[in-house]
Amino acid sequence: MTDTADKTKQVLVIGATSGIARAVCKRLAQRGYGLVLAGRDQAALEADAADLRVRHQAEVEVRPFDALAFETHGALVENLNVSVAIVCHGVMISNEAARASIDDHRRMIDINYTSYVSALEVLADYFEPRGTGVIAALSSVAGDRGRPSNYCYGATKAAVSTYLAGLRGRLNRKGVSVVTIKPGPVATPMTQGLQAKGPTAQPEVVAKQIVSAIEKRRNVAYVPLKWWPIMSIIRLIPEWLFKKANL
HSE-up (13 A, CA, CB side) for residue 70: 11
The answer to whether 109 touches 99, Cβ cutoff 8 Å, is no
The answer to whether 130 touches 85, Cβ cutoff 8 Å, is no
Q: Considering the domain boundaries, does residue 98 fall inside one?
A: yes
Q: pLDDT grade, residue 184 (50/70/90)?
A: very high
Q: Considering the domain boundaries, does residue 247 fall inside one?
A: no
Residues spanned by the domain of 205: 10-242
Q: Considering the domain boundaries, does residue 2 fall inside one?
A: no
Domain CATH number, residue 44: 3.40.50.720
pLDDT score, position 197: 57
How far apart CA 208 and CA 224 sit, in angstroms, is 10
Q: Considering the domain boundaries, does residue 3 fall inside one?
A: no
pLDDT score, position 190: 59
Write the single-letter amino acid at 112.
N
pTM comes to: 0.91
Please determine, for residue 117, whether its predicted confidence score (pLDDT) is greater than 60: yes
pLDDT score, position 196: 53
pLDDT score, position 29: 97
pLDDT tens, residue by residue, 126-153:
999 999 999 999 999 999 999 998 999 9
Q: Considering the domain boundaries, does residue 5 fall inside one?
A: no
- Number of folded domains in the chain? 1
What is the sign of the dihedral through the CA atoms of 2, 19, 35 and 157? positive
Q: Considering the domain boundaries, does residue 4 fall inside one?
A: no
Averaged pLDDT score across all residues of the chain: 92
